[in-house]
Amino acid sequence: MSGFEPKRFFTDLYEAAVAAADPARVIGRFLPERPKGRTIVIGAGKGSAQMARAFEDAWDGPLEGLVVTRYGYGAPCTRIEVVEAAHPVPDAAGLAGAQRLLRTVSGLTADDLVVALISGGGSALLPAPAGRLSLDDEIAVNRALLASGAPISAMNAIRKHVSAIKGGRLAAAAHPARVVTLVVSDIPGDVAALVSSGPTIPDGSTREDALRLVETWRMELPAAVMAHLASPEADAPLPDDPRFAGNEVHVIASAAVSLEAAAAAARAQGLEAVILSDAIEGEAREVGGVHAAIAREVAARNRPFAKPVVILSGGETTVTLRGAGKGGRNSEFLLALALGIDGVAGISAFAADTDGIDGSEDNAGAFCDGTSAARLRAAGRDPRALLATNDAWTAFDALGDLFSPGPSGTNVNDLRAMLVR
């Protein structure tokens, strides 16, 4: 492997994974039948603008609509309006966008078709406080969720019970029109109802479940939110609600498909590739430690895989905030991994969010190897102290090892790769 460049190699894997989730490549296989009446396209998420553009290109009839995406994630469309709002903390633009989506699907008939284009990120992009709650209440909920370390399934069970648009409510508002939802999944296990808290897809969780989750994860929510969750006003429609009869849901891109594409890209360069799972959850630093242990075992004993090998995984880890540092779950995972392989030769690694942004900064992730922790110490930085304060971005910025490809136009969760040579 003379002249081999790990950063270039990992970038190739990332680009293959993102390409496999490109809406333009897959959306044509999921087009619904043209309706007798109007075709209304709605959507939300970090990939919704690219999905809208792809749908416009593939659809051979009249259409109109509106999608909401993150600031800087827009794409040029001719018939579908694209509006931008804040992520991961909601803002007034998102509130206005959610209200407009509800108005867009009101007053439709059974002859009309609603196509919902849903990708990850819509939970924050569509604030719509229910009952007497305010935007500030929903922002407080979102901040508490992000700091809690709770898995995405728990977050979305709570979010949908404080919302007027999530948990299938947007589809209910479109009744009696038929709703076909096309999903780019960023959820471990590809449970479509959890992507963006399922604005057009109900699930079976209840407000009692939401209250138990608040207690389990020790979240401190505003009194108005707790009062709302305790009232019947928070009840969300359930999957057997007749308003959803005849609706369709299709997952058009997912982490599983993207991981297979990354594995194929590795094999094309002459390296064996294995996939641990596309649904790994848990505390980012703990998952990083486990991945490091696997890499060390391969390096030392050629088990459970023989080297050279690329070890891939996907899913969505979480970060429990302990300090005021900068970063995201992928950089935190990678800093913990770097500590776990400290001084071990022949191991390099990469982790990035397929939407192009990891956490609060402008990088998607980072690179590391067995020298990363030592190089940090040589630069006067304590890697363990940086990890303790959730400051992984600062660590990899100091090393020049951030990965910053920019917004990708899709979102199928995280890509993690370890190369053991």
Q: How far apart are CA 5 and CA 37, in angstroms?
A: 55
Strand-by-strand arrangement of the 414-420 sheet: 272-275, 309-315, 414-420, 347-353, 365-369, 402-403
In this prediction, residue 187 carries a pLDDT of: 87
Q: What pLDDT does residue 153 have?
A: 87
pLDDT at 401: 98
E strand intervals along 71-187: 80-85, 113-119, 178-184
Phi-psi region of 153 (alpha: psi -120 to 50; beta: other; left: phi over 0): alpha
Instruction: Note the pLDDT of residue 389.
Output: 97
pLDDT digits (tens, 9 = 90+) for 52-74: 999 999 999 999 999 999 999 99
Strand-pair partners of 339? none
User: Residue 86 pLDDT > 80, yes or no?
Assistant: yes
Preceding omega of 129 cis (within 30 degrees of 0): no
Residue at token pair 């590809």: 190
List pLDDT tens digits, range 163-192: 999 999 999 999 999 999 999 998 888 899
- The pLDDT score that the predictor gives to residue 359 is 79
* Residue bearing the bigger pLDDT, 1 or 344: 344
What pLDDT score does 61 carry?
96
Q: What is the pLDDT of residues 236-246, one digit of tens each?
A: 999 999 999 99
pLDDT value of position 411: 87
Q: Please determine, for residue 91, whether its predicted confidence score (pLDDT) is greater than 60.
A: yes
Rounded Cα distance between 48 and 259, Å, is 21
pLDDT at residue 1, rounded to an integer: 55
pLDDT (mean) for 150-162 = 92
pLDDT at 249: 98
* pLDDT of residue 2 exceeding 70: no
Q: Can you give the pLDDT at residue 267?
A: 98
Query: What's the rounded Cα separation, in Å, for the pair 369 and 130?
Result: 47
Cβ neighbours of residue 338 closer than 8 Å, sequence gap 6 or more: 349, 368, 369, 372, 373, 383
pLDDT band at 3; cut points 50, 70, 90: confident
Whether residue 149 is predicted with pLDDT greater than 90 in this model: the reply is: no
Position 46 pLDDT exceeds 70: yes
| Percent of the chain with pLDDT strictly greater than 70 | 100
Q: Judge contact between 50 and 80, C-beta under 8 A.
A: no
Q: Tell me whether residue 303 is exposed, middle or buried, using C-beta atoms within 10 angstroms of its C-beta: 0 to 12, 13 to 18, 19 or more.
A: exposed
Euclidean distance between CA atoms 201 and 239, whole angstroms = 8
Q: In the predicted model, is pLDDT for residue 43 greater than 60?
A: yes
- 162 to 35, 135, 304: CA distances (angstroms): 33, 11, 45
